Structure 1
Amino acid sequence: MALSLTSTPTQAATWHRGTPKVLRGHWAYGVTKDHLAGHLHISANRIWCQQPQSTPWKGKQMTYRSLGHGKYKVRLRQWRPNMAAPTKWHWFTLTFWLHHGKLTDYVYQNSRDPWYHRTALK
């Protein structure tokens, strides 16, 4: 009797279409009774973001890969209305970190990044 061992490549480095299910939904930060500082909506194949002192943007054609420990690298076509015509749609990469039920987009990689929490806002 012969025993054959084969190794299969890990799926961690594989890029997948869409967004991870754990990131999908409505996220917000700076919420008080009468104020909403920032809002992020992530669906299976779209993303929309509104932050203070920033032009709202949206994304499509998303792919992602898991980096482990709740971190996900998301690559998307981003649209910003204030950019010049040829670059209104451009490729953009974000790293999201889901930690203790809160989400950050990990742009600055320091304490200035806002921590979003799930919200029922639509």
Structure 2
Amino acid sequence: MVKAKVFIICLTVLILVFSAIGAYHMYAMERAIARSIYADLLDDMQDIGYLDSALAEYYMQEMADLGWDVTGDVFAGTSPRTENERARKERQDTVTLVLRVQPTTVAQWLHRFVEGEVKFTFAGSRPSEYFDPGW
């Protein structure tokens, strides 16, 4: 009888430990994917000088395919966002990207535990590499 109780307790602990390791691994992978999307998008913005709407739609679709909530403006705070406000290298302008996405439920729980908030948030600025050919 005692051996059965010890066996059940050990089995429960093993299941909990492996579940926690798996959940943390999933959280780390989702955060790394979000960070790579942010880096790729910032590189693209730096090259063209603004956040192109087709580019934003493409990355929003990629994030939606991952199961993340992208119903709101995930690029709020990003500038410039239109072609006529394009940042130019000759004027030493910068592009600013702010990415804020809500990951899957398990990643939200772990991110709240680690960072204290639910959404993944990345923000940064770089000098524009777009050089106006008419300049």
TM exceeds 0.5? no
Q: Name the structure where helix makes up a greater proportion of residues.
A: 2
Larger radius of gyration: 2
TM-score of the two chains, using structure 2 as the length reference? 0.23
Structure with the larger RCO, 1 or 2 (CA within 8 Å, 6+ apart): 2
Higher strand share: 1
Q: TM-score, normalised by structure 1?
A: 0.25
